[in-house]
C-alpha cells in the first residue's frame, strides 16, 4: 500500500476518532453517552494544550485551568514524533489540517492550475511568519491568565464544538473563513496562522528525517515545486528545512511528485552518504 493511502486512512481515522469523542462528550452531558466510548473532553486530548502547559509550568504558573494532565503526555509524544520524522502530526493526524486539505481537493477540481496561486510568493514569504507572532501572543496570554485563551479563537476547538455553545462566535467565524479560504489556498490556517504548526515546524529543523534532493540525478523539471502544497521551492534545495514542510511526501518519487527514482526522497542520509554506505 502506498504511503499516500496510509496517510489518508490515518487522517480519516483520527478525524472520526476526535468527532466521536466530541459528540459523545455532548451526549454524556444530557445523560445519553455511548458506553463504549471513553468520556473525554477535547481539552484532554489537545496536544497544543500540552505545549502551553509545559510553558506555563516552566514559567512557574502551574497547570492551566481547563486542561488535563493527559495533554502533557500527548504533547510530549507529538514532539518526540516530530524530532524523528518532522511534523507528521500535521500531515497525518490533525483533523483541522485534514479538513482543509479535503476542501482543497475540491478547490483543485474547480480552479485547476490557478488553485493555491491566489497569494503572490513574495507576500506568502512574509505572511508565513505570522504563525510565530500568534505563537508568542498565545504563550504570553496563557502565561498571564493561566487559562487556555487560545480556545476562544481556535478553529480546531470550534470544528468539534460548534453545536455545543462552548465555541465562541470568534472561533466559529475563524473556522468558517478558514474552510472557505481552503477552496482557493491550500491549508491557509496551517500556512499563516497556526501556532502549533509553527512550533512543530521549528522543532522539525532538527528532525532526523528530512525531504532531500539528489543534485546528481535531479533533472530540474520543477515538478516537486508544483506538487508542494506549502509553496516550497524543493527543486532549489539539497534538503528541505522550511518550517512549513509537514512531510506530506507529495514532492517525492514514491508519491509521484518527482519522476526520477531517489531524486527527491524522505530520508536520514543525503545522496552522497547513501552511496558511501553501499
Ligand atoms: S498547522 Fe496546525 S492546523 Fe495545520 S495541521 Fe498542523 S497543527 Fe493542524
Ligand atoms: S516539501 Fe514535500 S513533504 Fe514538504 S510540504 Fe512540500 S510536498 Fe510536502
Ligand atoms: S521533481 Fe525530482 S527531478 Fe524534478 S526538479 Fe524536483 S527533485 Fe529534480
- SS3 for 101-147 is HHHHHHHHHHHHHHCCCCCCHHHHHHHCCHHHHHHHHHHHHHHHHCE
Identify whether residues 87 and 167 lie together within a single domain: yes
Pairing of strands 264-267, 210-213: antiparallel
Residue 201 has pLDDT above 80, yes or no: yes
Identify whether residues 139 and 168 lie together within a single domain: yes
Distance CA 235, CA 244 (A): 16
Q: Quote the ligand 3 centre to 238 CA distance (angstroms).
A: 11
- Give the tens place of pLDDT for each residue, 116-138: 999 999 999 999 999 999 999 98
Structural domain count of the chain: 2
**How much is the average pLDDT of 259-263?**
94
CB of 238 closer than 8 Å to CB of 210: no
Identify whether residues 153 and 271 lie together within a single domain: no
pLDDT score of 89: 94
Ligand 2 proximity of 250 Cβ (cutoff 6 Å): yes
Residue 157 C-alpha from the chain's centroid:
15
The residue segments making up the domain with residue 199 are: 3-204
Q: Which residue has the higher pLDDT, 150 or 222?
A: 222
Domain final position from 182, 204, 226: 204
pLDDT score of 173: 97
Model confidence at 32, pLDDT cuts 50, 70, 90, reads confident
Nearest CA to ligand 3 atom 3: 218
Identify whether residues 30 and 162 lie together within a single domain: yes
CB of 18 closer than 8 Å to CB of 44: no
Domain final position from 204, 228, 247: 204
Residue 36 C-alpha cell reads as 463504549
Helices (H), 209-268: 223-227
- Give the tens place of pLDDT for each residue, 229-253: 999 999 999 999 999 999 999 999 9
Ligand nearest to the CA of 179: 1
Q: Quote the ligand 3 centre to 251 CA distance (angstroms).
A: 8
Q: Which residue has the higher pLDDT, 72 or 111?
A: 111
Identify whether residues 83 and 167 lie together within a single domain: yes
Domain final position from 204, 236, 264: 204
Specify the DSSP class assigned to residue 90.
Answer: I
Pairs from 271-278 (Cβ < 8 Å, separation ≥ 24):
271/212, 271/214, 271/215, 271/216, 271/217
Amino acid at each position: 500500500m502506498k504511503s499516500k493511502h496510509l496517510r489518508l486512512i490515518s487522517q480519516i481515522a483520527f478525524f472520526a476518532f476526535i468527532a466521536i469523542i466530541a459528540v459523545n462528550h455532548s451526549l454524556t452531558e444530557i445523560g445519553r453517552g455511548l458506553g463504549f466510548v471513553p468520556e473525554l473532553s477535547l481539552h484532554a486530548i489537545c496536544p497544543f494544550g500540552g505545549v502551553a502547559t509545559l510553558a506555563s509550568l516552566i514559567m512557574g504558573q502551574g497547570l492551566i485551568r481547563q486542561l488535563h494532565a493527559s495533554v502533557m503526555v500527548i504533547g510530549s509524544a507529538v514532539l518526540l514524533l516530530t524530532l524523528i520524522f518532522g511534523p507528521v502530526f500535521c500531515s497525518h493526524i490533525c483533523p483541522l489540517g485534514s479538513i482543509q486539505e479535503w476542501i482543497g481537493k475540491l478547490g483543485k477540481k474547480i480552479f485547476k492550475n490557478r488553485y493555491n496561486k491566489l497569494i503572490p510568493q513574495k507576500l506568502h514569504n512574509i505572511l508565513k511568519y505570522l504563525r510565530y507572532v500568534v505563537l508568542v501572543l498565545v504563550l504570553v496570554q496563557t502565561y498571564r491568565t493561566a487559562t487556555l485563551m487560545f480556545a476562544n479563537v481556535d478553529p480546531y476547538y470550534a470544528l468539534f464544538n460548534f453545536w455545543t455553545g462552548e465555541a465562541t462566535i470568534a472561533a466559529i467565524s475563524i473556522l468558517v473563513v478558514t474552510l472557505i479560504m481552503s477552496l482557493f489556498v491550500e491549508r491557509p490556517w496551517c500556512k499563516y496562522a497556526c501556532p502549533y504548526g509553527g512550533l512543530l515546524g521549528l522543532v522539525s529543523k532538527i528532525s532526523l528525517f528530512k525531504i532531500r534532493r539528489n543534485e546528481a540525478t535531479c533533472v530540474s523539471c520543477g515538478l516537486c515545486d508544483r506538487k508542494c502544497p506549502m509553496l516550497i521551492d524543493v527543486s532549489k534545495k539539497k534538503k528541505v528545512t522550511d518550517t512549513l514542510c509537514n512531510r506530506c511526501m507529495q514532492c517525492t518519487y514514491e508519491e509521484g511528485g518527482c519522476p526520477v527514482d531517489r531524486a527527491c526522497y524522505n530520508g536520514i542520509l543525503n545522496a552522497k552518504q547513501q552511496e558511501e554506505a553501499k
